[in-house]
Structures are given as C-alpha cells and as structure tokens.
A and B are shown apart, each in its own frame.
Chain A
Amino acid sequence: MALQSLDIVRRSATTIPAPQARGATAGAVAKLIDVSKCIGCKACQVACMEWNDLRDEIGSCVGTYTNPPDLSDQSWTLMRFTEYENPKGDLEWLIRKDGCMHCADPGCLKACPSPGAIVQYANGIVDFHEENCIGCGYCITGCPFNVPRISKKDHKAYKCTLCSDRVAVGLEPACVKACPTGAIVFGSKTDMQRHAADRVEDLKSRGFDQAGLYDPSGVGGTHVMYVLHHADQPQLYADLPKDPQISAFVKVWKGISKPLALLGIAAAALTGFLHYVGIGPNETTREDEEAARRELEKPS
C-alpha cells in the first residue's frame, strides 16, 4: 500500500509483526445491523455501489426480492429476504443485510497464503489488499460465512471493506450513512453492544422473548453484529450460521500441518545425507562384474 496505515495487527502469511505503532485508542469499531428495524429498501446496497464505484451485472429475478441473487466481486453487501412462517402461523419477512462480518479471528486471513493480501487493523476491520492477492480462493475456503468472491475479470478476491477508507478519516461506512431507518449504526464496539442491549430489551417487551445480539464467540466475536428477533435460530435469516467457527480442516491445514510437514521433509533429507556420510554408498565392485561375467559365460 502506498498509504501506510501503521495500525495493522495481523497480516496474512506473515509471522513478523506488521507496522502497528498506531493503535485503536478509542477501541475497536463495529457496525450493528438491527434486522428488526430493516425495511428492505436496499439503500445500503446502493450506497455501497456508489461509494465503492461498483456496478454488478443486471441479472434477472430469481423469485425473491433478493437482488442480485448473491454476493459477488461487484456486490459487497446484499439484502437477503426470507419469508418465514412462525409457529403462530403468521408470516415474518426477515431481511438480513449480508456481507463480511469482520471476524476478530478471521478464517480468510488464516487461510491466505500470500503475504499481506489480507490484513486486520487495530480497529477490527479485516481488509483485502488486492495487489497482493494471487487469486487462489483459500480465503473462501477459510471463511465461515461464505463471503469473499473472486473476480472473473482480474482473479482477485473482493469483499466488504467496512469502508476502511471512510472509517480511517472518521466517517461512518456508506451503508450506515444511507440507512433511512437507523437499522444500521456504527461506532465503537462497546457502544454498539450497549445500543444492542437496549434494542433487545425493547424487542423482548414486544413479545420477541428470544431476541438477542449476534456476536458469535466461535470466531472471537465480529465487528459486524446483528440484532435478531430470533437470536436462538439465526439459520432462519438466510442460513446465518448458529455457531460459526473456522473449520477444523482449515485449522489443521493452516496450523500444525505446516511446521510438521517442513520438519518431516527436512528430516528425511538430513537422514539421507547422514546415511551417505555414515554408511556410504552402495557400489558395484569389480568382483561383482566378474561374478556376473562368469555366470554369463557359464554353459546353461
């Protein structure tokens, strides 16, 4: 990056510390999405397109209001519409703004093999630095939320940046700015948790006794959180995972297997070397050649 942020706490495929003299003194940030307040207007989608200069292809209707049908390299956020019939027989229209959750323990960053293609800032934002991206898609393999997308045009991975460029200069993310109902708010994570607690209390008083905050601990908490009326069943909201975690396969692949494999290969090569030095090569001697000749000339 030409512009040093100097507040990088984690950098993909890098073990030495990244420049991080500047911390997040005011605390980590978070975006809180109150699903119960969302009216599905898609102003957030439009704001995201506008600020980031993204234009997805015009698609066709897939039978729901979800449009475009999926996240893509040009759609970093997407309202997912679910029609849910509750046990009382009433229809609930659940609308969840999908996008990167900015995990405290990001699976994408853990899986990324390219130094500096994914970074985590002190304020909690997980950002892709596409100039270092090699397009392998390991971030998709590592992500518990199925968020990153690879562009067909440039083979780089893209996702929501939490408007790191805006946040860096003290602005709120574009989607927050555009939301007309205050369903999306942005601030320090502690403030957002406090605000969420008020919202949950309000929802409970209005009959949603399972209302709660979605800030999954399996990934160390997230910097994008949801207020859900059915926090006990997050899957209702277009398959939001109940207990997201970095997959055990990914943990082994990106954890213990790396040092063990390299140690194993080095040990094998060293064993060979020591065998050569200690015991020595197995050579065919003149006696062997003569014995072979004798046998060859022996009449059969």
Chain B
Amino acid sequence: MRPARQVADQVDVKTGQIVRYAPATRINHWIVAISFVLLTLSGLAMFWPPLFWLANLFGGGDVTRALHPWIGLVMAAAFFLFAVKVRHDNRLQKADREWLKRVGEVMRNQEENLPEVGRNNAGQKLVYLVALICMLVLLVSGLVIWRAYFTAYFPIDVTRLAALAHALFAFVLILTIVVHVYAGIWVKGSLRAMTRGTVSLGWAWKHHRAWFREVTRHTNGK
C-alpha cells in the first residue's frame, strides 16, 4: 500500500485533520523564513552599529557583508516562487473590508460577528501584499548597492536612494514579519499548518469557515 500523501485542501487520511499546506509549500516557506532570519541578523549588523556584534555570528564583518546579498538572492527566489503559488488565496475582496473594520474585535478574540473567512483572512492577505512589495523593492535596491558586482553601473544618487530604500523597506518587512510570527503564536493551532501541514477541523471551522465548508463539501459526499 502506498503511503498516504498530503494533498492541500483535503482531509488527511492519517490524522483526520485538514491539510492546509502541502510538503513542498512548507519547505518553500521555511527556506524563506530561515533566509529572512539570517538576513535580518546580518542586515541589522550593518544597519545599526550597536548591533554590529551580530556580524560575529557569520564570522566577522567582511564575511557578513559578502554573504548577505547571496542569502538575499535565495530568499527572493524562494519567496517569489511561494508568492506565485499562493497568489489566488490572497486576492483582497469586498468581504475583507468588513473583516478589517472589525479588526479590533479580532484583536480581542471576539469572533462572533466576523464575516465568514475563506482560505485566508484580510490580515493574512495584507501580510502577503506588504511582503510582496517589500521583497520587490529589497531585491532591486539590494542589487544596486551590491558593491562587488553592480553598484558601478548606477549613478551615485541612485545608489544613495537605494541604500535608504533598502533600509526602509527592510524595516517595514521586519515589522510585518513580527506581526506575522506573533499571529502564529497568538492563534493556537496555526503553527502546525506550517510544521506538519495540518490544522484541526475545529480550527478551520472557527477561523476559516468558508474554506472549511469548501474543503469538507467533497469529503462529506464520500
């Protein structure tokens, strides 16, 4: 008998839970996440002198300087692959406006009056959108300030602007990821979706009811 493979948006035969992310998506996500952490540590080392000691984690300032852009390329490639894969789940729709209006209730864990949410809620979609914009700007500005290969091809004021933009958008992205990570800690049962791939039926029913119905409609008929 073939081992049961996890397929996204179906009930997992083994666990009786819903598969939210297939293995390839999870691995892709963690490549982005690990690169992001390395980039934040090495980037902050070069951004804020009191954190320059973080460069020691990478073997010194010059190694940090040399590694950072390469890790950046890995993150960009992995992120854009991921972003293309999940783009359909992240289109902002009319219903998202209602959810955003009630974001205060969301923060207070009062979910009775929230509209039914599909695969992703408006907050998740905003994280997707902001991360996408930041990644694009970081990639382009990062190439411009990559002294070893590209900076010589740009006028000095473009380089200066790119250096500022790189810092600014990295800041926005770090803030966004702080929110993203905290959401995973705060909403219990979410982290499992990215570590094991599955969420409980109750979790899906509670947080993404429209998605729950869509997924279980097929299962029900069996």
Interface set of B (CB-CB < 8 Å, partner A): 45-50, 52, 55, 60-62, 64-66, 107-109, 145, 147-148, 151, 156-157, 159-161, 163-164, 167-168, 171, 174-175, 178-179, 182, 185-189, 200-207, 212-213, 216-217, 219-221
Whether B201 lies near A146 (C-beta < 8 A) is no
CA distance A135 to B61 in the complex (A): 9
Does A18 sit within 8 A of B, measured CB to CB?
Answer: no
Contact A250 B62 (CB under 8 A): no
Interface range on chain A (Cβ under 8 Å from partner): 35 or more
B111 → A minimal CB distance (Å)? 8
Q: Name the CB-closest residue of A to B64.
A: A134
Could you list 13 A-B pairs, sorted by A, with CB under 8 Å?
A: A114-B52, A115-B52, A137-B145, A137-B151, A150-B147, A155-B66, A264-B175, A268-B179, A281-B188, A289-B200, A292-B204, A292-B205, A295-B205
From B48, B108, B159, B202, contact of A291 by CB (8 A)? B202
Given contacts A113-B52, A134-B62, A258-B48, 4 further A-B pairs with CB under 8 A are: A114-B52, A250-B160, A253-B160, A288-B205
- Of B55, B163, B187, which one neighbours A249 at CB under 8 angstroms? B163
CA distance A283 to B187 in the complex (A): 6
Give the shortest distance, in Å, between A222 (CB) and chain B (any CB).
19
B108 touches A292 (CB 8 A): no
A59 at the interface (CB under 8 A from B): no
A265 touches B160 (CB 8 A): no
Question: Contact residues of A with B, CB < 8 Å?
Answer: 13-15, 113-115, 132-138, 140-141, 146, 150, 155, 247, 249-250, 252-253, 257-258, 261-262, 264-265, 268-269, 272, 275-276, 279-286, 288-293, 295-296, 298, 300
Return the chain A residue nearest B204 by Cβ.
A292
Q: How far is the CA of A290 from the CA of B203 in the complex (A)?
A: 11
Which of A135, A137, A281 has most B Cβ within 10 Å? A137
Q: How far is the CA of A289 from the CA of B16 in the complex (A)?
A: 12
Contact A276 B186 (CB under 8 A): yes
Tell me if A272 and B109 are in contact (CB < 8 A): no
B178 touches A268 (CB 8 A): yes
Q: Are B202 and A292 in contact (CB under 8 A)?
A: yes
Pairwise interchain contact A249-B147, C-beta atoms closer than 8 A: no
Which among B163, B189, B220 is the interface contact of A250 at CB below 8 angstroms?
A: B163
CA separation between A281 and B191, bound complex, in Å? 13
A137-B147, A141-B156 are known contacts. Are A253 and B164 too (CB-CB below 8 A)? Answer: yes
Out of A14, A114, A282, A296, name the residue touching B61 (CB < 8 Å): A114
By the criterion CB–CB under 8 Å, are B159 and A134 in contact?
no
Say yes or no: A15-B108 contact (C-beta < 8 A), given A134-B64, A250-B163. Answer: no
